Amino acid sequence: MNLQQFFTILYARKWRAFTYLGLTVLTTLVISLVIPKQYIATTSLFMEQRGVDPVTGGMMPTQLLSGYIATQADIIASHNVALRVVDHLNLTADKKYQDDFLKRNGVGDLRDWIAEALIKNLTVYPSHESSIIHVNYKSPDRKFSVQAANAFAKSYIQTTVDLKLQPAQQNADWFEMQLNSLREKMENSRENLSSFQQVSGIVNSNNRLDIEDARLAEIAQQLVVNQGHTYELTARKQQLTKALKNKSFESLQEILDNSFVQTLKSDLSRVEAQFAELSVKVDRNHPQYQQAAAEISNLKKKIAQEISTVLEGIDSSVAASKRRDEILAAELDKQKTKVLALKKQHNEIDVLTEEVANAQKTYDVAMQRSVQTRMESEASLSNIAILNPAILPQKHDSPKITLNLFLGTFLGTLLGIGAALLAELFDRRIRTPFDISTGLGLPVFGVMTKAPVTKKSRRSLGASL
């Protein structure tokens, strides 16, 4: 079929095509006028991208806008939000919904059924590259469309708050349980430290350890000094003993420093000088000679006794110094044992003190986090606000009569063309020379066109008749 045939067929069967077109347009118009008008109310929501947590003051993670907005749109159209709308508008008490529910067998819960019915008339779409979401609700009742759109917005905001509060409340409860355990652990650590301090009698281990260390150093110093003194006395004793054996103690420092010995030696020298004079003048049996000799002997005995006393004093000093060495050494060992025990106690106290500090630190951190989570669980704050609440729509959204008529005209035209072609298919006619040459296979010698009819020809034709 060429284009000439197509238009020829349409022209020949134009009334059939116009009939289908007219019926389609008329049907579209009737349906558009009969179906109930639908009104759309729109509520706009603004979602703030917060950088700082209003409760803790900390930095909040940056959210991807596209994914975040899409998630919020899904939440708005969720069954949970729809249930809140049902409760907010008290739709379960509406007779219309009750009757519709019973007409549909009444299976399930009325509240859930109404929620699903509301979701079917809900449309949520975000603005392009914006933090604004539009909530549309379609209903034949323009007032109800406004109520439903605003109710969905409010229910969504409350749902987002609850979604934040629920995990925060769970965290707060968990931290509360942990705090009880940490508090008990901290108190046990403090009790262990206090009990150990009471048993050991140590209040400030550092001060006592410093005192005992100083005492240990002092005893050690005294022992070293006394041992040096003992060594010196022992050396002097050995020197005196040797001099006594050799009878060469006259030049010893201890003898030279003894004033009584020096006095006796002076007296001995004086008496010996007198004795030398008397020995020249008198005989051995002379009383003066005997007296001088006796005096010399007496002085020598006294000198020997005094030297012996000096030696005995040195012996006593050596023995006393050695005893003091032993006492200081024993006291040093005792002090060492005491310091070691005190250091052990000090280390144990340090460990217990560290346990108390760690328990306190852990408890403080947990307490701070618990307070924070408790505040978060009680802070009904939302980063979502109603930018534009829904208002009463002045015009219906559907049906769109002009658009429907345009679509009906387009569809009717297609139906009319199809009907004309289908009728031609079942009732084939010769309408063009091309139909003879192709359809019948006969050659075409000429085409007789319809002559134009004038007024004169009409009169002549009428006269002949």
CA 125 from centroid of its chain's CA atoms: 34
Q: Considering only CA atoms, which of 438, 235, 226 is closest in space to residue 325? A: 226
d(CA 262, CA 250): 10
CA 440 from centroid of its chain's CA atoms: 91
In tens, the pLDDT along 25-69 reads 888 888 777 777 888 899 999 987 654 444 444 444 545 556 788
d(CA 102, CA 113): 11
CA 10 from centroid of its chain's CA atoms: 78
CATH number assigned to the domain covering 205-378: 1.10.287
Name 124's bridge partners. Answer: 135
User: What pLDDT, on the 0 to 100 scale, is given for residue 49?
Assistant: 67
For tokens 């095509």, the residue is 17
Position 248 pLDDT exceeds 60: no
CB 5 within 8 A of CB 435: yes
Collapse the DSSP code of 46 into the 3-class scheme (helix H, G, I; strand E, B; otherwise coil) and give the result. Answer: strand
In tens, the pLDDT along 282-332 reads 767 777 777 777 877 787 777 677 777 777 777 788 888 888 888 888 888
- Residue 357's φ and ψ, nearest 5 degrees, are -65, -45
In tens, the pLDDT along 121-153 reads 999 988 877 788 999 999 888 898 999 999 999
Q: Are strands 122-126 and 39-47 parallel, antiparallel or unpaired?
A: unpaired
User: What pLDDT, on the 0 to 100 scale, is given for residue 151?
Assistant: 93
Position 441 pLDDT exceeds 70: no
- Global confidence as pTM: 0.52
Domain ranges, ordered by start, for the chain? 3-171+380-440, 205-378
Which tokens is 247 given? 């009878």
Say what percent of the chain tops pLDDT 70. Answer: 76
CB 243 within 8 A of CB 314: no
Which tokens is 356 given? 């108390």
C-alpha distances out from residue 224 to 72, 316, 317, 336, Å = 87, 20, 17, 16
Q: How high is the mean pLDDT of the chain?
A: 77
d(CA 401, CA 391): 24
In tens, the pLDDT along 184-216 reads 888 888 888 787 777 766 655 566 667 878 888
The CA angle 256-294-286, to the nearest 5 degrees, is 140
- Residue 59's φ and ψ, nearest 5 degrees, are -75, 135
Largest CA distance in the chain: 236
d(CA 74, CA 69): 9
